[in-house]
């Protein structure tokens, strides 16, 4: 009889013997394996599998509990005396895998997101060659709590070190998180000197706008610039431009302290306002506007921008260069500035006006806003602000796209604003002001309702200036037919003053 080859399962050997011709019965030399019906075998395997699963679950639960505890310990240490030498839990792949498990299974609360973001930064700092190991976990946390992720990252690494840069690239370039992250970062950029918000863990620590500028500077050096440089280019341009103004006009001590840390981190030998200019130039070069950068350099425009007294002149020069490079982009920037001036009272209104007056805006879309803003600044005590506001109105009136009713409305509103500067009863001005009564009365019946309303409001101002209470009451009571009779009786001439010939 042929002997069975070694290490071959018995079942396979039996099948082979049965298939061969004249097969002899197998020798009973091996240990007999007890036979179990298929149903019993399946039940036994299922029971063993359950016990094994329970054991694995218990061990995993213990590891997760230890991991969460280690996160809290690292968080406490990082908030206290500074981050110690990285503990063993940061040096093993197991810790990253456990964090993945926590996030994937949703075994965390919103208030734990800041701690997890801090932990990811610490893990990446301790593991130089694992730059993208926790990308999916970071993206998931950012998608769930974008404000917590952005603000925590700005707090834990304000000078944007290697690990933080890797995290920023991940969340700013992914379609899952880019839009929300970029909007939050823009809000921080536009808040000088710092942006205040409370994260889910109760942290209310302010975040410096300059820290967001450092992030943008690092991102703009990447070959693949995030969509923020295109989709939000007008807002980004404005925030960087006026951060130059803010950091030139005033520099709080705590911001200077922060900036010294940034200089040490990145080897920068420049002031904060020059750094903001550097970032702005990087943005323009990335978007193919290098000619603007060179032209400003040739005219010493960047240096002029760094002086508080000449800042708004440099902004006007930059607006002119931007207009030559891209009228569409320049208009978008001007519209954003106009919106800010219409809804806020910013400290940088003078340079904003300087940019605005050099831009051809669509009068049909924003003429009313220009009139409103310009009218407000015509009453300013600053002579330069009044000059720029008046120039903005003149630019708008000279626009060939304006219709007659728009010109009339602008003229009437401008006249009404000028009346606000005059003291009642100024004799040298009484005659020209009195001569405006009749044309304003005619415009009160204009087909354009806005022109008619503006005319009635201005007519009341004129009556107050002339101290004609009778005419003022008639206009307020909308008895314009009686108003006309009064004008005819007085021949719309100023009343004779005591001692004067009628």
- Calculate what percentage of the chain has a pLDDT beyond 90: 35
Q: Find out whether the peptide bond into 252 is cis, omega within 30 degrees of 0.
A: no
Tell me which residue of 306, 305, 304, 280 sits closest to 293, measured CA to CA: 280
Round to the nearest angstrom and report the end-to-end CA distance of the chain: 151
pLDDT at 469: 85
DSSP output for 196-261: ----TT-----EEHHHHHHHHHHHHTSSS--THHHHTHHHHHHHHHHHHHHHHH---HHHHHHHHH
Residue predicted with more confidence, 502 or 79: 79
What's the CA gap between 269 and 275, in Å, rounded?
Answer: 9
487: Cβ contacts below 8 Å, ≥ 6 apart: 437, 438, 441
The answer to whether the beta carbons of residues 276 and 247 sit under 8 Å apart is: yes
The answer to whether the beta carbons of residues 361 and 338 sit under 8 Å apart is: yes
Residue 173 DSSP class: H
What's the CA gap between 484 and 475, in Å, rounded?
Answer: 10
- Calculate what percentage of the chain has a pLDDT beyond 70: 74
Enter the tokens of residue 396: 């708008």
pLDDT at 398: 62
Q: Is the pLDDT of residue 22 over 70?
A: no
Least confident residue range of 20-29, 125-134, 142-151, 249-258: 20-29
Computed over every residue of the chain, the mean pLDDT equals 79
What's the CA gap between 101 and 357, in Å, rounded?
Answer: 57
> pLDDT tens across 171-224, in order?
999 999 999 999 999 999 999 999 999 999 999 999 999 999 999 999 998 888
Q: Find out whether the peptide bond into 460 is cis, omega within 30 degrees of 0.
A: no
Query: What are the beta bridge partners of residue 195?
Result: 207
What's the CA gap between 74 and 93, in Å, rounded?
Answer: 17
How confident is the model over 378-390, as a mean pLDDT?
A: 82
Enter the tokens of residue 466: 């002339």
pLDDT at 318: 95
Label residue 490 by pLDDT band (50, 70, 90): low
Label residue 63 by pLDDT band (50, 70, 90): low
pLDDT at 41: 55
How confident is the model over 391-395, as a mean pLDDT?
A: 75
pLDDT at 403: 78
pLDDT at 259: 95
Within 91-208, where are the H helices?
93-104, 113-126, 135-144, 146-156, 162-173, 178-189
Least confident residue range of 59-73, 364-378, 393-407: 59-73
pLDDT at 431: 80
Q: Is the pLDDT of residue 24 over 50?
A: no
Q: Is the pLDDT of residue 444 over 70?
A: yes
**Coil/strand/helix, residue 358:** coil
Q: Is the pLDDT of residue 378 over 80?
A: no
Q: For the whole model, what pTM was predicted?
A: 0.69
The answer to whether the beta carbons of residues 302 and 277 sit under 8 Å apart is: yes
Least confident residue range of 143-147, 411-415, 463-467: 411-415
Residue predicted with more confidence, 42 or 274: 274
How confident is the model over 21-32, as a mean pLDDT?
A: 44
**Coil/strand/helix, residue 25:** coil
Label residue 499 by pLDDT band (50, 70, 90): very low
Label residue 238 by pLDDT band (50, 70, 90): very high
The answer to whether the beta carbons of residues 389 and 377 sit under 8 Å apart is: yes
pLDDT at 375: 74
Q: Is the pLDDT of residue 32 over 90?
A: no
Label residue 10 by pLDDT band (50, 70, 90): very low
Q: Is the pLDDT of residue 345 over 50?
A: yes
pLDDT at 19: 42
Least confident residue range of 20-29, 39-48, 134-143, 291-300: 20-29
Residue predicted with more confidence, 422 or 161: 161
Highest mean pLDDT among 58-67, 122-131, 170-179 belongs to 170-179
Q: Is the pLDDT of residue 53 over 90?
A: no
How confident is the model over 94-117, as a mean pLDDT?
A: 84
Residue predicted with more confidence, 137 or 99: 137
pLDDT at 62: 60
Which residue's structure tokens are 């944007």? 160
Highest mean pLDDT among 25-29, 100-104, 257-261, 440-444 belongs to 257-261
pLDDT at 372: 78
> pLDDT tens across 260-311, in order?
999 999 998 889 999 999 999 999 998 899 999 999 999 999 999 999 999 9
**Coil/strand/helix, residue 444:** coil
How confident is the model over 439-463, as a mean pLDDT?
A: 87
């Amino acid at each position: 009889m042929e002997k069975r080859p070694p290490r071959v399962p018995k079942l396979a050997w039996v099948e082979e013997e049965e298939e061969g011709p004249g097969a002899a019965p197998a020798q009973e030399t091996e240990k007999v394996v007890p036979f179990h019906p298929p149903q019993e075998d399946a039940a036994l395997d299922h029971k063993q599998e359950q016990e094994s699963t329970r054991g694995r679950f218990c061990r995993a639960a213990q590891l997760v509990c230890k991991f969460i505890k280690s996160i809290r310990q690292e968080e406490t240490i990082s908030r206290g005396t500074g981050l110690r030498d990285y503990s063993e839990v940061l040096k093993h792949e197991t810790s990253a895998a456990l964090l993945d498990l926590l996030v994937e299974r949703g075994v965390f609360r919103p208030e734990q997101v800041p701690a997890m973001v801090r932990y990811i930064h610490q893990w990446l700092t301790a593991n130089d060659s694992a730059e993208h190991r926790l990308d999916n976990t970071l993206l998931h946390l950012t998608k769930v709590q974008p404000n917590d992720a952005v603000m925590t990252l700005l707090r834990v690494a304000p000078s944007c070190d290697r690990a933080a840069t890797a995290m920023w690239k991940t969340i700013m370039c992914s379609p899952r998180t880019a839009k929300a992250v970029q909007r939050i970062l823009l809000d921080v950029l536009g808040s000088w000197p710092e942006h205040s918000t409370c994260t889910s863990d109760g942290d209310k620590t302010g975040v410096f706008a300059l820290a967001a500028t450092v992030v943008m500077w690092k991102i703009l050096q990447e070959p693949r610039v995030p969509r923020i440089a295109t989709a939000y280019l007008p807002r980004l341009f404005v925030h960087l431009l006026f951060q130059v103004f803010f950091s030139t006009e005033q520099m709080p001590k705590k911001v200077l302290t922060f900036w010294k840390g940034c200089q040490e981190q990145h080897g920068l030998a420049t002031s904060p306002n020059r750094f903001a200019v550097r970032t702005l130039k990087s943005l323009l070069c990335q978007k193919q506007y290098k000619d603007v950068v060179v032209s400003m350099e040739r005219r010493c425009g960047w240096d002029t921008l760094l002086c508080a007294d000449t800042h708004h002149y440099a902004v006007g020069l930059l607006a002119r260069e931007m207009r030559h490079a891209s009228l569409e982009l320049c208009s978008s920037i001007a519209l954003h500035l106009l919106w800010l001036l219409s809804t806020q009272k910013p400290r940088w209104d003078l340079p904003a006006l300087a940019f605005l007056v050099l831009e051809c805006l669509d009068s049909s879309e924003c003429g009313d806003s220009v009139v409103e803003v310009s009218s407000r600044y015509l009453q300013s005590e600053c002579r330069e602000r009044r000059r720029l506001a008046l120039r903005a109105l003149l630019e708008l009136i000279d626009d060939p796209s304006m219709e007659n009713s728009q010109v009339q409305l602008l003229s009437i509103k401008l006249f009404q604003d000028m009346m606000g500067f005059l003291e009642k009863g100024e004799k040298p001005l009484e005659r020209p002001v009195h001569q405006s009564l009749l044309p304003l009365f005619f415009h009160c019946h204009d087909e354009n309702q806005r022109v008619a309303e503006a005319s009635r409001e201005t007519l009341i101002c004129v009556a107050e200036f002339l101290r004609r209470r009778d005419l003022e009451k008639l206009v307020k009571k909308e008895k314009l037919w009686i108003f006309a009779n009064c004008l005819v009786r007085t021949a719309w001439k100023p009343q004779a003053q005591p001692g004067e010939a009628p």
